[in-house]
Amino acid sequence: MSASYQGVLWNRQKRIYDFVLWSFIAVYIALFAFLNYRFDPRITPETLFIRATGTLALLMLHVILSIGPLARIDKRFLILLYNRRHLGVSMFLVAGTHGVFNLAQFHSMGNVNPFVSLFSSNMHYTSFINFPFQVLGFFALLILFMMAATSHDFWLNTLTPRLWKSLHMLVYVAYALVIMHVVLGVLQLEHEPTLFGVLLFGLTWVSGLHLYAGWLEGKRDREASHTEGWVAVGTSDDIEDSRAKIVFVGGERIAVFRYNGKLSAVSNVCKHQNGPLGEGKIVDGCITCPWHGYQYRPEDGCAPPPFKEKVSTFKLKMVNGIIYVSPKPNAEGQFEEPLVIG
Amino acid sequence: MIATLRRRHRIIWRVLVPILFIGAVSGYMLAPKYPSDQFGVSRISYPQLLRSVVSENYMFDLRNGYGGESILEVKQISAINPVSELVTIRYRKASGSEVTQELGMMGGRKKYSFNLKTIQPPFSVTVTDTIKRVTLANIEF
Ligand code: FES
């Protein structure tokens, strides 16, 4: 909900996060170099650096892809979502270094343009096992570059959240390309069972998490889609003051907030990046998104001026002490009289 | 996340998971099994040089090992940077039949030694880039 954009939104917490992250990157590369030289002193520094950055980027990509489903499975992981973009951009920088070193070492010493060499040095495009694996890595890097370049909120607003999200979901394609880049690359040259075991473990972990989170949400959505008419939320005592209870209605989620002896219901989906508003709280009279702090007034779902974001509101009623919410959303930003609970 | 996105995620992963597992497992199973040379000779030197042959990119030294075995030392002497270097030997057995045997990959190192055991000249040695499918050297001893 920024009125203007700053180059990068850093605060103290993010600075600490970046410091820890880049310290980890430095330690990983140093440790990788140390262990490799110890066990295989014949390895050249270029090969070593290519391997260190390649394995590190792969590890970071696995971590990044685990955060989303973990946060959907258990709310305690939500905190990890906050800095995922910094982690993503850092991962791209590491992967980019791997790509540039590869290009320099294997494709820049001939008399053809390195990019021409990358695409033409191995022409087995119709073969599975001999497929030019470096090309797969190149396209994965291209996707990661597009994601890193558009990671700022300016692009989120310029491209619209829908397009932006679709673009950023290409990370799954990048992941698939990276896995095959490793399988058809280093695993062909070094038929190492340990290496393959580690890769398979990572793949099982990431896909297991995504499948489980998807199954869990699908189940909730199916249960919710059976509800028709007004949906029971519970009693007002079920909701902590300045907090919300999330209800599933027709496949969508509604956040019912309690504040100053009143109740208001809004869509659970933040306009910024679809963050879960119902997991945030009321700060200065406004619902505050837990992901990046966008704010909305509970009565009309509008962001306070000068901001312009709006979410839908919902009608509420109370029968015999039980709160009910209407499954039909009001127009975005439409005022809805709060339900007074005394 | 909104319902459409949740559904899109579910579909993507249901499609991606079988493809990735099949791709990864078959890629590993179908990988060519080049002999991995466990012959750790990097810190051992074999003083008895029998013969040297030089090609454009490599120098091949045939040496005598301490147990009387033949050692083939392959050194890269040019600035080429092949992704993979598979060293193959072709020789004639006592029975007269010709044998082509893969000795191993050089693994990006500039110098590598292979234990030829009882194989003696005449034989030919080839270095191939298995990724680009080009012959980097082909010499006769
Ligand atoms: S998703 Fe970013 S503030 Fe809500």
Reported ipTM: 0.73
Q: B30 has which bridge partners?
A: none
Q: Which of B10, B20, B28 sits opposite A214 (nearest CB)?
A: B10
Could you tell me the residue ranges of all domains in chain B?
1-30, 49-140
Query: Which has the higher per-residue pLDDT, B3 or A181?
Result: A181
pLDDT of A185: 87
pLDDT of B83: 73
Range B49-140 classified under CATH 2.60.40.10: yes
- Beta strand ranges found along chain A (DSSP E): 231-234, 244-249, 252-259, 262-267, 281-283, 286-288, 295-296, 313-314, 316-319, 322-325, 339-340
Q: How far is the CA of A335 from the centre of ligand 1 (A)?
A: 22
pLDDT of A223: 65
Q: How far is the CA of A294 from the centre of ligand 1 (A)?
A: 6
Residues 164-183 of A with CB under 8 A from B: 165, 169, 172, 175-176, 179-180, 183
C-alpha torsion angle, residues A111, A112, A115, A119 (rounded to 10): -120
Q: What is the pLDDT of residues B63-75, one digit of tens each?
A: 887 777 888 888 8
Report how far Cα A250 is from the mean position of its chain's Cα atoms. Answer: 25
pLDDT of B40: 41
Q: What is the pLDDT of residues A173-187, one digit of tens each?
A: 999 999 999 999 888
Query: Which has the higher per-residue pLDDT, B35 or B30?
Result: B30
Q: Which of A168, A17, A161, A18 lies closest to A93, judged by CA?
A: A18
Pairing between strand A262-267 and A313-314?
Answer: antiparallel
Residue A196 pLDDT greater than 80, yes or no: yes
Residue A333 pLDDT greater than 70, yes or no: yes
Residue A235 pLDDT greater than 80, yes or no: yes
pTM over 0.95: no
Residue B82 binned pLDDT confidence (cut-offs 50, 70, 90): confident
The proportion of chain B whose per-residue pLDDT surpasses 70, expressed as a percent, equals 85
Q: Report the atom number in ligand 1 closest to the C-alpha of A280.
A: 4
User: Which residues does chain A have within 8 Å of residue B25's beta carbon, measured at their own beta carbons?
Assistant: 200
Question: Is the shortest distance between the CB of A275 and ligand 1 below 6 Å?
Answer: yes
Q: How far is the CA of A163 from the centre of ligand 1 (A)?
A: 16
- Mean pLDDT score, B23-51: 69
Question: Is the shortest distance between the CB of A294 and ligand 1 below 6 Å?
Answer: yes
The preferred substitution site among A84, A157, A291 for testing ligand 1, maximizing ligand atoms within 8 Å of CB, is A291
Q: Which of A122, A180, A217 sits opposite B131 (nearest CB)?
A: A122
Please tell me the total number of residues recorded for chain A in this structure: 342
The tokens for A81 are: 């979502």
The proportion of chain A whose per-residue pLDDT surpasses 90, expressed as a percent, equals 46
Residue B120 binned pLDDT confidence (cut-offs 50, 70, 90): confident
Does residue A332 sit at the B interface (CB-CB below 8 Å)?
no
Residue closest via CA to ligand 1's atom 3 equals A292
- Mean pLDDT score, A247-251: 76
| Secondary structure letter of residue A266 according to DSSP | E
The rounded distance, in Å, linking the Cα atoms of A154 and A147 is 13
Q: What is the pLDDT of residues A11-40, one digit of tens each?
A: 677 788 889 999 999 999 999 999 988 877
| Contact assignment for B13 to A187 by CB distance below 8 Å | no
Residue B103 pLDDT greater than 70, yes or no: yes
User: Which residues does chain B have within 8 Å of residue A203's beta carbon, measured at their own beta carbons?
Assistant: 20-21, 24
Q: What is the pLDDT of residues A124-140, one digit of tens each?
A: 888 888 888 999 999 99
Residue B42 pLDDT greater than 60, yes or no: no
